[in-house]
Each structure stands twice: as C-alpha cells, then as structure tokens.
Structure 1
Amino acid sequence: MKQSGIEQRKKMSHIDTIFAYTLLLVFGTCTLLLIALSASVYQKNTKRMNQNDERRTISAYLTEKLQAADEQGCIRSGRIDKREALLLLQTNQGTGYTTYLYTKDGFLMELFARTGEKMSADAGKKILELKELQIREIREGHVNLCVWTRDGEEISLIISRHAR
C-alpha cells in the first residue's frame, strides 16, 4: 500500500512538472508574440512620423522661400538645363539675383546666381530628398506647386502670397 502512495506522488509530481513547463512555454510564447507585435507597431509609427516630418519640412522650406520672395512679379517659373524650376527674383543694391529651385538626381536643389548669368544645374546645392517639383500655377494671389517625395507620395502645396 505504501508503494502505491509513493508511486501516486511520483506520478503527481511528474504531472505538476509537465504542467509547470507547459505553462512556462505558453507564457514565453505569448511574451515573444507580444514583443514581435510591439516591434511591428513601433516600426509603422516611426515610418509614419518620418513621412510626416519629411512632408512638413518640404512644405515649410518651400513656403519660407516663397514668402521671402513675396514681391510683385518676383516669383516665376522657368528652366535650368531643361529642368523645370521655380525662379525667385530679388534685387540687392541695384543688382538682380535669381534663386533657382529645381529637382536633380532625387534632390531638391537650390542655386543662387546673378540674374542673366548662364548657370548649370550641377552648380546647385542639395537641399532635400525629392523626386520631382512641378509648378502648376503662379497667380497674383497664390502659387500652386506639386512635389513628389522619395517614396513617391504626392504633396500639393498652395502657398498664398501677400504682394499683389
């Protein structure tokens, strides 16, 4: 009779051990799944935040440039090396200068030169990663631009002008 009690305790001990290991395995699996899910959510949120930052940076840069050149007739569309460009004209002590904003090799480029001077698009400075800049409309009251980010996202900007 004593042997059957000892055998029964050993059997219960094995069942308890198996139950504990199974519980540990389930807990470990759930923990790993939770970590993987959290990493995925974090990665998506980070990507979305970076896209929003990129969008805001592009919008803020172009808005500031256009508002700095906000005088009658100082914002025009044009070309530099057969590339579409936004021309911002200004005069300083009687000398005319032009700032060219255009895209080249996946970057928004800026080139500041004396008006009328022959310049190459290669001379510009890289500002932001940007696939394309398209000037849709320049009117008295606003400038309508369309830009494409490096991810191919289209951003349409309508920038109000104060000078009329």
Structure 2
Amino acid sequence: MKKNMESRHTVDMLFVVALLFLFAMGALMLIALGSSIYKRGVDTLTKSYDKRTAYAYITEKLRQYDEEGSITTDIFNQSGAIRIDTTIDDIPYVTYLYDYDGALMELFARADVGELPPEAGQKIMDIDDFVVATKGNGILEITITLKDGENLTFITAKRSGK
C-alpha cells in the first residue's frame, strides 16, 4: 500500500511538471509570434512614414512659396536641387532643397551671402538620392530614393498665376 502511494505521488508530480512545461512553451511561442507580428508592423509603418514625410515636406514647401518665378530647379553641391526665392521685409532669401551625405537637406539663407557649404543646411530625413527634373509649364518631377532602395516619384505643379 505504501509503495502504491509513493509511485502515485511521483506520477502526480511529473504530470504537474509536464503541464507547467507545456504552459511555459505555449507562452514563449505566443511571445515569439507576437514579437514577429509587431516587428512587421513597425517596419511597415516606418516605410510608410518615410514615404509620407518626403512627399509631404517637399510639396508643402513648394505650396508655401508658390509665387510666379520663385520656384526653380538649380545645381547645388554638384547635384540637382530645388531653389525657392522669397523676399521678407525687402530682403531677398533663398531656400535650397537638396541631397547631401545621404540626407534630404534644407538650406535657408540670405540671397546676398554668397555660396554656402552644403553641410550648413538642416537635415530633414535620410535618403539615398534626390533627383529633380523640370517638365515644362511649372511642372516638376521629383524622384527620391529612400534608404531601403525604394523609389518615390511624384509630379507637382506650381499653381501661382500672379
């Protein structure tokens, strides 16, 4: 009788340990599955954020300064750039949107200062390449290569009539 009780306690203990082990394995599998789903979601959101930021930033700058003759394409730092000329309190200013050292940059300065180095601009976001082409009648085709190698191409038009 005593022997039967001892073996019964061992079997009960093994059952509890096995059940605990199964619970722990299930919890670990659930955590691993949840983390992979979370990582995919974060990657998708980051890629979407980069696209929206690049597009929205440039189009907002162009719309903000949309006056006749104020937006042109230019060469800055030996590559294509968008040049925006504006006057504030009778002082001429120039803004350049360009690519420098793997980043989309913006440089805002007085027009009479002269040539400024490209590192003087403010970094907007990381990119691989920035290409601007004029398509005529105030239409600009802008292609941005994001860090993941994806090309974002959009066409924008000047809307000013004055």
Q: TM-score, normalising length from structure 2?
A: 0.84
The answer to whether structure 1 residue 145 and structure 2 residue 142 are counterparts is yes
**Cα offset, 1:116, TM superposition:** 8.8
Distance 2:12 2:124 in 1: 66
Aligned pairs for 1:67-106 (under 5 A) are 67-92=63-88, 95-106=91-102
> Which deviates further from its counterpart, 115-124 or 104-113?
115-124
Sequence identity percentage = 30
- The answer to whether the 8 Å contact 2:85/2:93 transfers is yes
> Which deviates further from its counterpart, 23-32 or 54-63?
54-63
Aligned AA (2:74):
G
**Cα offset, 1:146, TM superposition:** 0.8
- The answer to whether the 8 Å contact 2:105/2:121 transfers is yes
- The answer to whether the 8 Å contact 1:147/1:156 transfers is yes
Question: How many residue pairs get matched?
Answer: 160
Aligned pairs for 1:37-76 (under 5 A) are 37-76=33-72
The answer to whether structure 1 residue 119 and structure 2 residue 119 are counterparts is no
Q: Which has the larger radius of gyration?
A: 1
Gaps of 5+ in 2: none
Gaps of 5+ in 1: none
Distance 1:42 1:93 in 2: 51
Match of residue 23 from structure 2: 27
- The answer to whether the 8 Å contact 2:138/2:158 transfers is yes
Secondary structure in 1 matching 2:114:
coil
- The answer to whether the 8 Å contact 1:130/1:149 transfers is yes
Distance 1:94 1:13 in 2: 94
- The alpha-carbon distance between structure 1 residues 118 and 65, as it changes in their structure 2 partners (threshold 3 A), is same
Distance 1:30 1:142 in 2: 58
**Cα offset, 1:17, TM superposition:** 1.5
Aligned AA (1:36):
A
The answer to whether structure 1 residue 130 and structure 2 residue 121 are counterparts is no
Aligned pairs for 1:5-20 (under 5 A) are 5-20=1-16
> Which deviates further from its counterpart, 141-150 or 27-36?
141-150
> Which deviates further from its counterpart, 76-85 or 112-121?
112-121
> Which deviates further from its counterpart, 96-105 or 117-126?
117-126
Question: What is the CA deviation profile of residues 57-103 of structure 1, one whole-angstrom value per residue up to 9, with x for unaligned ones?
Answer: 22111011111121233222111131211111224455543211111
